[in-house]
Amino acid sequence: MSTEYEFLTEKNVGTYIASRPELQARIDGARLAEVREIGDGNLNVVFHVTDADGRSMILKQSLPYVRMTGEGWPMTPDRARREAESLVAHGAIRADLVVEVIGYDHDRYVLALEDLSDHRVWRGALNDGEYHDGVAAQLGEYVAGVAVGTSVLGMDRGDVAEAMARSQNAELCVITEDLVFTEPVFDIGRNSVLPANEPDAAALAGDAVFASAMSEAKWRFMTHAEALIHGDLHTGSVMVRGSGEAGDAADSVKVFDSEFAFYGPIAFDLGALFANYAFAAARARALGEDERAAWALGLIDQTWQGFADTDLALSERWLERDLFNRDFAERRVAEILREAALFASAKMARRIVGAAKVADIETLDPELRAPAARAVLSAARALAARWDSVAGVRDIRDTLDAQILG
């Protein structure tokens, strides 16, 4: 794979579009009115492009390194293909919940996507105090669709084997294995916390129960090839549209940014969502918005219910024609919940002590940030201590309520 390819710039993007018929059919590269670089993620460059007729699209290009750190951290640009292919696979299952892929360029690692400028990133909306009812439940449905639709539950056995081979994503999985599971316990120099949180980070790193849980989580992440998971399903990987007022449902929800996709444990996506709801709750609590903090933790129940109901309903079709019966399906769902608690613990800890953080906590003033970070770390440790005995979503809620709502 070549790492010598031309990067998109505000200047050359028009010529690039004009050279790609599938893009030129949707926007006129020769008559661009506006080009803006809007990337705010850790890895890629992203352009928002509008032509003279007001037609627009998003072009996302992978660089051969991690944008967050620069050329010192090389990274395969082929990650853009994993994103393109997983978005297409997920869109085939739930087109209503996944951003549309307009095209993918294998030579320059450019992914063209529908413009969702009338949406906003859910994390930003949450941080601004918006609600967007129904998003959490729909994300649970999306995860269930993927759990069944890309696994042996919903696909031909041979097709699953081929999909697994195509979706190997070792380099990005290693990022997750290092940043999410290993480094919260063993700092290799990338971790950081506020001085006030240094004792909390040290307590986390010295917690043998947490370390043991992280070894279990990492093993499962590396070996449980269940379905083509999103792989980075935080609230920054979801766009929402709607008034955002309390009581108003979002009128559109779109998942994007799935470059970490691979055949992995489906609970990893659920755990990521649960952890991000915990960040939203810790932020609200820090700001003295206790009712909102409780609401944010309630999103866990909504995502879980959306997942469990849909997963069991989708599995019904498959139960009829195979050995696996309803008892098995229910046992599987119960195990996914336990595992989601385990992964949520990892995800909570990594965003507080690890290299890649979240705006929910980082944009708080330091005197509010330190206690919020401490509460999230306490919640991570409490979940790590009991994930294996979680018997219902209530157990997860009780644990997080106690640590975050106080």
Which 201-260 residues touch ligand SR1, going by CB under 6 A?
Answer: 232
Exposed (0-12), middle (13-18) or buried (19+): which is 53, by Cβ within 10 Å? exposed
Q: How many Å apart are CA 179 and CA 186, to the nearest integer?
A: 10
Exposed (0-12), middle (13-18) or buried (19+): which is 15, by Cβ within 10 Å? exposed
Provide the minimum distance between the beta carbon of 257 and Mg ion in the complex, in angstroms, as a whole number. 4
Residue 339 CB coordination number (10 Å): 25
Pick the closer one to ligand SR1 by CB: 43 or 361: 43
Q: Give the single-character DSSP code of 237.
A: G
Tokens representing 252 are 């559109």
Provide the minimum distance between the beta carbon of 267 and ligand SR1 in the complex, in angstroms, as a whole number. 16
Tokens representing 329 are 């399906």
User: Cα 356 vs. chain centroid, distance in angstroms?
Assistant: 13
Stretch that binds ligand SR1, among 113-121, 142-150, 175-183, 189-197 (CB under 6 A): 175-183
Pick the closer one to Mg ion by CB: 43 or 384: 43
Stretch that binds Mg ion, among 35-43, 77-85, 296-304, 364-372 (CB under 5 A): 35-43
Which 39-98 residues touch Mg ion, going by CB under 5 A?
Answer: 41
Q: Give the single-character DSSP code of 55.
A: -
Q: Which of 257, 269, 311, 360 binds Mg ion (CB under 5 A)?
A: 257
Q: How many Å apart are CA 91 and CA 255, to the nearest integer?
A: 9
Q: Among Mg ion, ligand SR1, none, what does residue 66 contact (CB within 5–8 Å per kind)?
A: ligand SR1
Stretch that binds Mg ion, among 92-100, 170-178, 255-263, 334-342 (CB under 5 A): 255-263
Task: Provide the mask over 329-368, with x wherever binding to ligand SR1 is found by CB under 6 A and - wherever it is not.
Answer: ---------------------------x------------
Pick the closer one to ligand SR1 by CB: 256 or 387: 256
Task: List the alpha helices (DSSP H) in 150-287.
Answer: 157-166, 170-176, 198-205, 208-223, 267-286
Q: Which of 66, 125, 155, 201 binds ligand SR1 (CB under 6 A)?
A: 66
Given the rule CB under 6 A, which residues bind ligand SR1?
Answer: 42-43, 66, 68, 175-176, 179, 232, 356
